[in-house]
Chains A and B, each alone.
Chain A
Amino acid sequence: MAVNWAQVLFNSAVTGSIYLLGAVGLSITYGLSGFPNFAHAELITLGAFIGYFVAEQLGLGLPAALIVAFLVTGGVGFLCYRGIFQPLAKRGATIIHLMVASIALGFILRHSIGAVWSWKPLYFTTAWSAFDVGQVRVTGLWLWLIFVAVTLAFIMHLILTRTKIGKAIRATSSNPELALASGINIDRVIWITWFIGAGLAAIAGIFRASDTQIWPMTGWDIILPIFAVVILGGIGNYYGAVAAAFIIGLAENVGVVILVALGLSSTYRIGIAFMILIITLIVKPQGLAMLFRRA
């Protein structure tokens, strides 16, 4: 069977872009707050539904949906940290308690979404024209996705390296005590990262939902590869997460080709991310972090 490798590469970029947007926020908040926020999956879902509400139910189109979902979900992410995780941590909750709380929060969000929008899968109705570039079949949505992901990744890079708040984020991430002693308002830094992280998750959710379907499990469906990206990239490491997103995107798409060749179900593509996750944890728990300066 001839495999269209150009298409596989392009698909990897598409998958990687979604994982990038979905994972960056989780990675940075994990690094700063010291626990994995399992409710990140539900922030992705929430973003997708807010996008759906704006784009489909209000009919305002995709760009407006992206902006509104970014802001609203970012606000929800901030409130989750400010209202639940921060007070819990101040009361001396252990990491296990924080993880359980994040899962509980996930259930609250997921089922609230289910109560508002029902559990029936919904679809974005915008029709994207597909066209061929050489041998590669692309759609407008995918080009948009890659454009948005790359632009946002670049903006994040600029924020982290060129602005005061970016430097504060990096400082807090590498040494919170020293950052505090240098007069950085750590709380504010963490709030901002929760806001941005949740906002980016919302954008991942909208693109994922436009590409497939939207239902209360939209975020949970991709939580495994997203965790794989976070771990492979090194927790809290921005550049590691960017690289890992595309590596896992590539591994999944090449993996699907191999699975099909072996006659296995392509639903196992999520198993590939799982393998990478486990192998990274066993062999090199710090992930790709050693390749990049800490950010």
Chain B
Amino acid sequence: MLLYGLDFLVFVGIFGIVALSLNLEFGFAGIANFGKVAFFLIGAYTYALLSKIGIPFSLCLIAGALTSALFGLLISLPALRLRTDYLAIAILAFGEILRLIVKSESWIAGGDWGISVAPAISTAGASHHVGVLVNIGLVYFCLLICFVIAQLLANSPYGRVVRAIREDEIAAEALGKDRAKYKAQILMIGSAMVGVAGGLYAQYLHYVLPSMFMPMVTFTVWIMVLLGGPGNNWGALLGAGLVELFKYGTNLAKDYLNLPVDPINLQYILFGVLIILVLFYRPQGLLKESPIKTKALELARYGKGVVNNKPSK
């Protein structure tokens, strides 16, 4: 039971990173990335292949982030000139094709059967609990870095430009902001984060398989962001926690309840219902979009008394 709880924490951490990155892309920049899983796959496979030839895990994670960012840039070149819906279709298709490639080219990484991946930090000899605890440390360290980056981006002038582009592309362009450039950068940063998450995922599960990267992964993350609150980094984390809790809850329930329906089917049906309910009744998510924090605004809001006390002449 304790192990179950620790395992849960690792998954919250990994998917927290993915949710943060989707929040950057969708919540802040308004990019409909329906192919999140493609970059997750790239990170995982890069990690798996590099760790196989004995490269230390930190470099593998960084390489996963860079490769993923590179693909993010490549897909953004044609994709960002497209309308929202075209972009969604194109990236979704990209993810499916990528999965097809690693599935049919068995020389890359074992095709359908996948390959095994060594854990990042070897805890051979120690109990399984220690291994999971080490993973928690590693995953939450990466999550912290990603969270700080996401918060800094969200509250910087850069983040404000990105939000402005989301709200009104034409107005932002009229102010001289190149929307394609900004979106490409956000897509690169987001993809790099997912790349790291993919590497962590691969080393935690000890293997990579094409069937781990079904489109469902993308939409689990979409539920996290929509539920938690797009445009709010804390919301993305909250969403990741809640969705994983729901997953673990249904998994536990299947051991104790005798359901007439296959619990996996039931879980996905409930996920679908959950998304539709959120879209109907709470499209802004549980947490509202975080207000922008800057020195000037803070002064305007909380420093008002100070300013007013000064002689106005």
Interface residues of A (CB under 8 A from B): 35-36, 38, 84, 87-88, 91, 93, 95-97, 99-101, 103-108, 110-112, 114-115, 224, 227, 231, 265, 267-268, 270-271, 274, 277-278, 281-282, 285
Contacts and interface: CB of A to CB of B under 8 A. Distances in A.
B252 interface: no
Contacts of B272: 104-108, 111
A231 B92 CA distance: 14
B82 A36 contact: no
Given A107-B269, A271-B97, A282 B275 contact: no
A107 B268 contact: yes
Nearest to A99: B88
B96 to A, nearest CB: 6
Given A96-B26, A111-B268, A114-B262, A104 B78 contact: no
Contacts of A108: 268-269, 272-273, 276
A278 B93 CA distance: 9
A271 B226 CA distance: 31
B268 A224 contact: no
B131 interface: no
Interface in B46-84: 78, 81-84
A77 B196 CA distance: 40
A231 B265 contact: no
A287 to B, nearest CB: 11
A99 B279 contact: no
B300 interface: no
**4 pairs of A and B residues whose beta carbons are closest in the complex:** A108-B272, A104-B275, A107-B272, A111-B268
Given A88-B279, A108-B273, A270-B100, A100 B222 contact: yes
19 contacts: A36-B89, A96-B32, A99-B34, A103-B34, A103-B215, A104-B272, A104-B274, A104-B276, A105-B276, A108-B272, A112-B269, A115-B261, A231-B86, A267-B100, A270-B97, A278-B78, A278-B93, A281-B82, A282-B81
Interface of B: 26, 30, 32, 34, 78, 81-86, 88-90, 92-94, 96-97, 100, 103-105, 215-216, 219, 222, 226, 261-262, 264-266, 268-269, 271-276, 279-280, 283
B57 to A, nearest CB: 32
Contacts of A106: 272
B105 to A, nearest CB: 8
B214 to A, nearest CB: 10
Contact of A100 (B103, B105, B226, B273): B226
B273 to A, nearest CB: 6
B276 A103 contact: no
Given A35-B85, A108-B268, A278-B93, 11 more contacts: A36-B88, A100-B222, A100-B226, A101-B276, A103-B34, A111-B268, A115-B265, A265-B105, A270-B100, A281-B89, A282-B82
A115 B93 contact: no
Contacts of B89: 36, 227, 231, 277, 281
A281 B89 CA distance: 10
**By DSSP majority rule, is chain A's interface helix, strand, loop, or mixed?**
helix
Contacts of B96: 224, 270, 274
A227 B91 CA distance: 12
A224 B84 contact: no
Nearest to A265: B104
A231 B274 CA distance: 30
B222 A91 contact: no
Contacts of B34: 99, 103
A101 B269 contact: no
Given A111-B265, A278-B90, A93 B279 contact: yes
A278 B96 CA distance: 13
Contacts of B26: 96
Nearest to A280: B86
B279 A100 contact: yes
A278 B90 CA distance: 7
Nearest to B222: A100
B86 to A, nearest CB: 5
Nearest to A267: B104
Contacts of B81: 282
A271 B105 CA distance: 14
Contacts of A110: 268
A36 B273 CA distance: 19
B93 A101 contact: no
Contacts of A265: 104-105
Given A100-B226, A107-B268, A114-B265, A281 B279 contact: no
Contact of A285 (B82, B104, B273, B275): B82
Contacts of B78: 278, 281-282
